């Protein structure tokens, strides 16, 4: 290869990073396209080297991004920002057959979408332990993904009384609880259809805790707290010195209805709720909760010490607890500062009854007494993440930038523009007791022409930032499907996913491991077909039933080889199953359409994949 060709090739590789723009000037989203200031080529070369993961090499981190209203979870590698996998959670996903087989269909329970915002890995002593990943759905649900196989294992909810569960799924430092909350206060119970004119008095906010079994990860209803009709927005669990407490932000403490962008911004301050969850546990154990919709609901008026309100800049969004648990960071999202509240001062104010008022009997702590600093981060602070060196990183929606500042000295030391309009941000293990620093991803709401046009439905942009040095440096632009809100970054070596389901672990009652056990049995109008999937045959290759029969197909992929998935797609019946190696899946349906219908393996598995097919014959009724 000539030198010239080589350099052209190198620049081809680097081109992708050029687009990322180490430049990223603060061009307004409406600015002219394709006119970007040239970056210094040395910066580009450094960025390229830092993000380039050579063929065969592996990324250093897993990056789990919520899929927003796609209802899914996207998995990327960092620093390459390559999309590795999509984990369907609240939405059927034909690629993995999710939502088609009996089990996943039952889990979705008729709902075909969700709005998933905040993933939360399980923690032990405040650190990611690599076992599970929880994620909220606005529709009052929470899901658990098992990180052993990257599959959704449980969906809990819709949980009674919760309306618009935005403020989850933050978990406590030893995964005792995940959090929930009502963004849209409603009558409790919701079936009590009181008119909106009674909003201020009859509508109620709900904060909720979902119990997690420490061995199995199984979620169950914990308890709820009934609150004034605020809009509970985000949450975080206390850690270390603040362990045992949960925090939630709210907007609209005005209890207004209609034109909220104006009416809910009248007061100077809204609140961060501070809830002593150990006190909640105790109160529930003492029988102080009232059973409503199958869950114990606590009234803070009847449980003194349960809940306090910390005044915060108006209309706050995120609330984030520092790695040592000392500071609670909350920002009015219309302001230019973020407040660092001091947990010890909160405790002192509680002891001294240093209150400035109350809301329906819930004491409001005095702002001046509990804050340590107002940090001048810039306009529109939303969310904060941390590194291991005592720095905090706050996303600025209005400024479209990230501010880096020091905990304790409150000095803003650096800023980097984001393209464009950053929402959440995610640092490596940046919400744990021991953040890694290194990488930070800005989860931007707009991508705005920094990619080939794909029509009006544009992707979002996620920008990778190097935070290993004093100055933040933009490394890479990745484009993602809508819509990551929050994401978490986990050190890759913490996860040890399996690649096949070991045969000896498959305890499914309908599993078979030998083609001679495959076949069809009938009990009245119920037909059971035990099916073996293995390269390159579906056994049996012919299934005959009568119109009106209930047909149950139990298929086992008897492969024990990595990546040897098989599918079972049944034409005209809208059935699409994908079975991983060593797995058994069941689908039950009514054979209501007479005729001959082909089924075939949908997942390319061998040179003779095309031959992996069969027929379902449905004989018409007499």
- Which positions lie near ligand K7E, rule CB under 6 A? 117-118, 166, 234, 317, 382-383, 423-424, 485-486
CB 160, CB 192: distance < 8 Å: no
Q: In the complex with ligand K7E, which residue's Cβ is closer, 157 or 381? A: 381
Q: In the complex with ligand CUA, which residue's Cβ is closer, 80 or 96? A: 96
Interface with ligand CUA includes 314 (CB under 6 A)?
no
Provide the Cα torsion 296, 195, 250, 334; round to 10°.
Answer: 170
What residues between 593 and 612 interact with ligand CUA by CB under 6 A? Answer: 601, 603-605, 609, 612
Interface with ligand CUA includes 566 (CB under 6 A)?
yes
Q: What is the CA radius of gyration of the chain?
A: 27
* In the complex, least distance from residue 490 CB atom to ligand K7E, rounded to whole angstroms: 18
The secondary element (H helix, E strand) that includes residue 416 is strand 412-417
Instruction: Give residues with Cβ within 8 angstroms of 230, minimum separation 6.
Output: 185, 205, 250, 251, 252, 253, 255, 270, 271
Q: Among ligand K7E, ligand CUA, none, what binds residue 345 when CB lies within 5 to 8 Å by partner kind?
A: none
User: In this structure, what DSSP letter does residue 359 have?
Assistant: E
Q: Among ligand CUA, ligand K7E, none, what binds residue 117 when CB lies within 5 to 8 Å by partner kind?
A: ligand K7E
Q: In the complex with ligand CUA, which residue's Cβ is closer, 591 or 601? A: 601
* In the complex, least distance from residue 154 CB atom to ligand CUA, rounded to whole angstroms: 29
Query: 491 exposed, middle or buried (CB, 10 Å; 0-12, 13-18, 19+)?
Result: middle
Closest alpha carbon to 73 in 481, 598, 501 = 481
**What is the token pair recorded at 479?**
């484009």
Rounded-to-integer distance, Cα 539 and Cα 553, Å: 11
User: Cα 82–85–90 angle (5° rounding)?
Assistant: 130
Interface with ligand CUA includes 297 (CB under 6 A)?
no
Task: Report how far apart, in Å, the C-alpha atoms of 377 and of each of 391, 413, 478 are.
Answer: 13, 10, 26
* In the complex, least distance from residue 402 CB atom to ligand K7E, rounded to whole angstroms: 13
Q: Among ligand CUA, ligand K7E, none, what binds residue 604 when CB lies within 5 to 8 Å by partner kind?
A: ligand CUA
Here's the x/- map for ligand CUA, 524-563, by CB under 6 A: it reads as: ----------------------------------------
Rounded-to-integer distance, Cα 350 and Cα 310, Å: 11
3-state secondary structure of 107: helix
Q: Among ligand K7E, ligand CUA, none, what binds residue 423 when CB lies within 5 to 8 Å by partner kind?
A: ligand K7E
Q: In the complex with ligand CUA, which residue's Cβ is closer, 63 or 599? A: 599
Q: In the complex with ligand CUA, which residue's Cβ is closer, 575 or 612? A: 612
How many chain residues bind ligand CUA (CB under 6 A)? 7
Q: Among ligand K7E, ligand CUA, none, what binds residue 609 when CB lies within 5 to 8 Å by partner kind?
A: ligand CUA
CB 339, CB 329: distance < 8 Å: yes
Q: Among ligand K7E, ligand CUA, none, what binds residue 612 when CB lies within 5 to 8 Å by partner kind?
A: ligand CUA
What residues between 11 and 50 interact with ligand CUA by CB under 6 A? Answer: none
Rounded-to-integer distance, Cα 117 and Cα 589, Å: 33
Rounded-to-integer distance, Cα 280 and Cα 286, Å: 10
* In the complex, least distance from residue 385 CB atom to ligand K7E, rounded to whole angstroms: 12
Q: Which positions touch ligand CUA (CB under 6 A)?
A: 566, 601, 603-605, 609, 612
């Amino acid at each position: 290869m000539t030198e010239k060709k080589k350099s052209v090739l190198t620049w081809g590789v680097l081109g992708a990073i050029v687009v990322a723009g180490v430049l990223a000037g603060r061009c307004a989203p409406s600015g002219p396209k394709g006119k970007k200031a040239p970056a210094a080529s040395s910066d580009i070369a450094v960025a390229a080297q830092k993000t380039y993961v050579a063929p065969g090499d592996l990324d250093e981190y897993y990056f789990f991004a919520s899929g927003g209203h796609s209802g899914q979870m996207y998995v990327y590698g960092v620093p390459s920002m390559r999309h590795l996998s999509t984990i369907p959670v609240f939405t059927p996903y034909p690629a993995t057959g999710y939502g088609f087989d009996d089990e996943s269909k039952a889990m979705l329970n008729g709902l075909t979408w969700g709005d998933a915002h905040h993933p939360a890995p399980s923690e032990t002593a405040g650190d990611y332990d690599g076992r599970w990943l929880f994620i909220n759905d606005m529709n009052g649900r929470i899901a658990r993904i098992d990180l052993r196989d990257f599959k959704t294992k449980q969906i809990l909810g819709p949980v009674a009384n919760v309306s618009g569960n935005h403020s989850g799924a933050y978990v406590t430092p030893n995964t005792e609880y995940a959090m929930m909350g009502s963004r849209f206060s409603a009558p409790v119970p919701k079936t009590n259809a009181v008119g909106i004119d009674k909003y201020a008095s009859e509508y109620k906010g709900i904060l909720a805790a979902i119990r997690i079994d420490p061995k199995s990860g199984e979620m169950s209803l914990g308890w709820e707290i009934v609150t004034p009709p605020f809009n509970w927005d985000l949450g975080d669990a206390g850690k270390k010195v603040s362990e045992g407490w949960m925090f939630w932000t709210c907007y609209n403490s005005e209890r207004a209805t209609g034109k909220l962008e104006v009416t809910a911004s009248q007061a100077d301050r809204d609140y961060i709720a501070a809830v002593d969850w150990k006190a909640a546990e105790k109160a529930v154990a003492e029988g102080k909760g009232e059973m409503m919709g199958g869950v114990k609901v606590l009234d803070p008026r009847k449980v003194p010490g349960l809940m306090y309100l910390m005044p915060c800049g108006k209309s706050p969004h995120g609330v984030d607890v520092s790695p040592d648990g000392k500071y609670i960071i909350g920002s009015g999202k219309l302001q230019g500062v973020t407040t660092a509240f001091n947990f010890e001062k909160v405790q002192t104010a509680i002891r001294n009854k240093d209150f400035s008022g109350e809301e329906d009997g819930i004491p409001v702590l005095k702002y001046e007494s509990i804050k340590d600093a107002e940090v001048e981060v810039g306009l529109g602070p939303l969310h904060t993440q941390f590194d291991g060196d005592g720095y905090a990183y706050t996303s600025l929606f209005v400024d479209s930038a990230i501010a880096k500042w020091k905990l304790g000295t409150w000095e803003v030391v650096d800023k980097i523009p984001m393209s464009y309009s950053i929402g959440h941000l995610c640092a490596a293990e940046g919400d744990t007791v021991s953040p890694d620093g290194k990488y930070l991803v800005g989860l931007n709401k707009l991508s705005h022409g920094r990619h080939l046009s794909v029509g009006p439905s544009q992707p979002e942009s996620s920008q990778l930032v190097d935070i290993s040095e004093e100055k933040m440096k933009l490394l890479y632009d990745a484009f993602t499907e809508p819509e990551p809100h929050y994401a978490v970054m986990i050190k890759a070596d913490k996860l040890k996913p399996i690649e096949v389901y070991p045969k000896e672990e498959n305890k499914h009652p309908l599993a078979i491991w030998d083609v001679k056990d495959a076949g069809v049995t009938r009990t009245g109008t119920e037909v059971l077909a035990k099916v073996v999937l293995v390269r390159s045959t579906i056994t049996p290759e012919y299934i005959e039933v009568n119109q009106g029969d209930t047909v149950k197909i139990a298929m086992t992929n008897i492969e024990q080889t990595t990546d040897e998935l098989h599918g079972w797609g049944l034409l005209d019946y809208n059935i699409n199953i994908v079975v991983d190696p060593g797995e058994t899946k069941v689908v039950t349906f009514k054979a209501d359409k007479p005729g001959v219908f082909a089924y075939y393996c949908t997942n390319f598995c061998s040179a003779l994949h095309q031959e992996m097919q069969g027929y379902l014959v449905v004989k018409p009724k007499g």
